[in-house]
Amino acid sequence: MTEPHPRKIEFEEDLFEFEAANDRELLRSALEKYRFSYETLERLTGISGDDLEAYLEGMTELEHLDQKQRADGLNLIAFLGMGINTNQVPPEERVLALIRNLNQEYGISAESIALQSGVEPSDVERFLAGRKVAAEKRFKISVGTLFLHFLIHVKS
């Protein structure tokens, strides 16, 4: 018999308003609703702003791009067009995903994250276990984790 997962996320039937949205609708949303500029999207995806504008207007399918660049770019734009601040994925879950990534990919322990964040290792362990951690400590854990993630990914 398995124990229930301590962090269960309940999804409503109309989970995302973009559930059936296509890439063009998500690009439009990233530009209009979330105020990303073509220049910013170009920097993030490596797809030129002119290509993105032509794609949005239906003048191209971006078939001239490398398949990986096109897929990676449109996937990132999809996330930006859906908006990352959703009730379905709470901020704590995002931080947990980053901590798990730091641990699995780079071997960074919960103790190291705690020391870098200025909290006790037991605070990070409680956070990872889904138990109550004071707001100030959650903030410190989040900032420390995000900065470690940033430092590692700037390097690569």
Domain identity same for 73 and 121: no
* CA distance readout (Å), 117 to 45, 61, 137, 146: 31, 45, 9, 10
Nearest residue to 55 (alpha-carbon basis) of 43, 68, 42, 44: 42
CATH code at position 135: 1.10.260.40
Do the beta carbons of residue 81 and residue 34 sit within 8 Å? yes
Tell me the per-residue pLDDT of 100-139, one tens digit each, with 9 for 90 and over: 999 999 999 999 999 999 999 999 999 999 999 999 999 9
Confidence of residue 1 (pLDDT cuts 50, 70, 90): very low
In total, how many domains does the chain have? 2
Domain identity same for 74 and 101: no
pTM value is: 0.66
**At 29, phi and psi to the nearest 5?**
-65, -45
In a domain, 124, yes or no: yes
> Mean per-residue pLDDT for 41-63?
96
User: CB count, 10 Å around CB of 148?
Assistant: 19
In a domain, 72, yes or no: yes
Tell me the per-residue pLDDT of 16-28, one tens digit each, with 9 for 90 and over: 443 446 999 999 9
Domain identity same for 128 and 106: yes
Residue 102 is encoded by which pair of tokens? 């730091």
Domain identity same for 133 and 107: yes
Q: Which amino acid is at 59?
A: M
Which DSSP state fits 63? T
- Three-state secondary structure call for residue 132: coil
Tell me the per-residue pLDDT of 69-91, one tens digit each, with 9 for 90 and over: 999 999 999 889 988 877 777 88
Domain that holds residue 61: 23-82
CA 141 to chain centre: 17
In a domain, 62, yes or no: yes
Q: Is the dihedral of CA 97, 102, 107, 112 positive or negative?
A: negative
pLDDT at 156 (0 to 100): 64
The rounded mean pLDDT for the chain is 87
